[in-house]
Amino acid sequence: MAEPLSVSEKRFLKALAGAPVDRPPFWIMRQAGRYLPEYRAVRATTRDFVSFCLDSEKACAVTLQPIERFGMDAAILFSDILIVPHGLGQGVRFVEGEGPRLDPVTTETGIAALSMEGFHDRVGAVYETVRLLSKRLPGDVALIGFAGAPWTVATYMVAGQGTPEQKPARLWAYRDPDGFQALIDLITEATIDYLAAQVEAGAEALQIFDTWAGSLPETELTRWVFEPIARIRAALRARFPHVPVIGFAKGIGPALPQLAPRTGVEAVGIDSAVPLSFVRDEVQPGAVVQGNLDPLLVVAGGKAMHDRVETILKTLGPDRFVFNLGHGVVPETPPEHVAALSRQIREWRP
Ligand code: CP3
């Protein structure tokens, strides 16, 4: 392993700090995953997905796979956003071909059955994964820790599964906002401690995934998305002033320019539906931006992918920009297309 570069020399951290870079850094959401045969080989050795996430050696191994194959500038800890409900004592399992299943929390009694007692014991393997990674990553690669945002995590905790329009959580929030607030508060407190422990173990930047932020009207967007993320950001800043946070609030379109000023995050993830000129003119002046190639263009590959990548790099690069997809890479993606994408970005110069 190469000597670690000082933090300020890692391209990904430089870009997040707003410092000039030779070319934009890149990583890919869900970069460790089923599109890679080497991931599937390790994954096949543990049946249960929660147990897989909590096996530090295996989680570390699959985190390193895309870095070794494609040379990303950052590695994201391999885990899942539903490890937080697991830590709080909620039953969480993943059904092959269907997705996550949780014992739904639908009442204040249900919330009262969850607690922070035993949380760090239940999720401690994640911190161990971070410690292993900070020893084993190449010296120029930054390590990203993450958690789901309280709203998105709540949508799964309440429905007990993925729901196309997040109806159960939205209805609870409309019918009984104070009751629902208690759930958001609990997740918020857990997330602060969980991310703080990841930083103490070696995470150099953090991403908060609010995949379902786009299902909320503006009053609720403020209360359930901006306010909890602002609390998490402020609590982390008090303890770790130097660790940047990326907020990924998918689907909020015209509200994106408000995300950084209203929450304090340094960087804003951009989904594929947001026009690049809007990102450049309205979001980038107030935050570093990250995104936003359509994951299906990496399935298609070829000229369509390369032309779009060039446009994104030219419009948003080189500074205050991290290249990424607009959402996670999908399982049917040919790894050769990710290799071609990686080459294009590594060789690109302004
Ligand atoms: O980006 C990375 O490489 C880090 C690992 C990571 C995973 N999930 C691994 C995973 C991260 C950051 C996540 C985040 C996550 N998990 C989100 C938010 C971001 C997003 O993609 O919208 C959400 C909503 C989840 C919840 C989740 N996890 C669902 C709905 C599913 C099932 C659907 C599916 O794709 O299978 C998962 C499972 C999951 N998480 C897998 C992986 C690699 C696939 C499970 C397997 O390998 O068997």
DSSP 101-125: EE----SHHHHHT--STTHHHHHHH
| Residue 2 domain-assigned (yes or no) | no
Whole-number pLDDT of residue 8: 72
Protein residues whose CB sits closer than 6 Å to any atom of ligand 1: 29-34, 43, 49, 76, 78, 80-82, 94, 99-100, 146, 148, 162, 209, 211, 328
The range of the structural domain enclosing residue 235 comes to 11-347
43 belongs to the catalytic site? yes
Question: Which is the closest atom of ligand 1 to the Cα of 63?
Answer: 3
Q: Measured between alpha carbons, how far is residue 49 from residues 92, 96, 107, 195, 239 in Å? A: 10, 9, 27, 21, 32
Question: Which is the closest atom of ligand 1 to the Cα of 250?
Answer: 22
Instruction: Inform me whether the pLDDT recorded for 78 exceeds 60.
Output: yes
| Residue 20 domain-assigned (yes or no) | yes
pTM of the complete model beyond 0.85: yes
- Nearest-CA residue for atom 2 of ligand 1: 30
| Residue 3 domain-assigned (yes or no) | no
The C-alpha angle with vertex 179 and arms to 177 and 184, in degrees rounded to 5, equals 85
Residue 92 β-bridge partners: 102
| Residue 4 domain-assigned (yes or no) | no
Output the domain CATH number for residue 139.
3.20.20.210
CA of 317 to the centre of ligand 1 (A): 28
DSSP string of 268-312, one letter each residue: EEE-TTS-HHHIIIIITTTSEEEEEE-HHHHHH-HHHHHHHHHHH
Instruction: Inform me whether the pLDDT recorded for 161 exceeds 60.
Output: yes
Strand order across the beta sheet in which 267-270 lies: 74-76, 142-148, 205-210, 245-249, 267-270, 288-293, 321-325
- Nearest-CA residue for atom 48 of ligand 1: 49
DSSP state of 243: -
**Residues 119 and 88 sit within 8 Å (Cβ to Cβ):** yes
- Nearest-CA residue for atom 3 of ligand 1: 30
Instruction: Inform me whether the pLDDT recorded for 4 exceeds 80.
Output: no
DSSP string of 19-42, one letter each residue: ---SS--B--TT-SSTTSHHHHHH
Distance (Å, whole) CA 232 – CA 77: 19
- Nearest-CA residue for atom 42 of ligand 1: 33
CA of 80 to the centre of ligand 1 (A): 6
Q: Per the structure block, which two tokens stand in for 27? A: 């990583």
156 belongs to the catalytic site? yes
| Residue 5 domain-assigned (yes or no) | no
CA of 84 to the centre of ligand 1 (A): 13
Q: Which of 11, 23, 30, 262 is catalytic?
A: 30
For 246-270, how does the pLDDT look when each residue is reduced to its tens digit (9 = 90+)?
A: 999 999 999 999 999 999 999 999 9
Instruction: Inform me whether the pLDDT recorded for 73 exceeds 70.
Output: yes
- Total domain count, the chain: 1
239 belongs to the catalytic site? no
| Residue 76 domain-assigned (yes or no) | yes
Whole-number pLDDT of residue 330: 98
| Residue 271 domain-assigned (yes or no) | yes
Cis ω for the linkage preceding 292 (within 30 of 0):
yes
Task: Kindly state the percentage of the chain with pLDDT values over 90.
Answer: 97
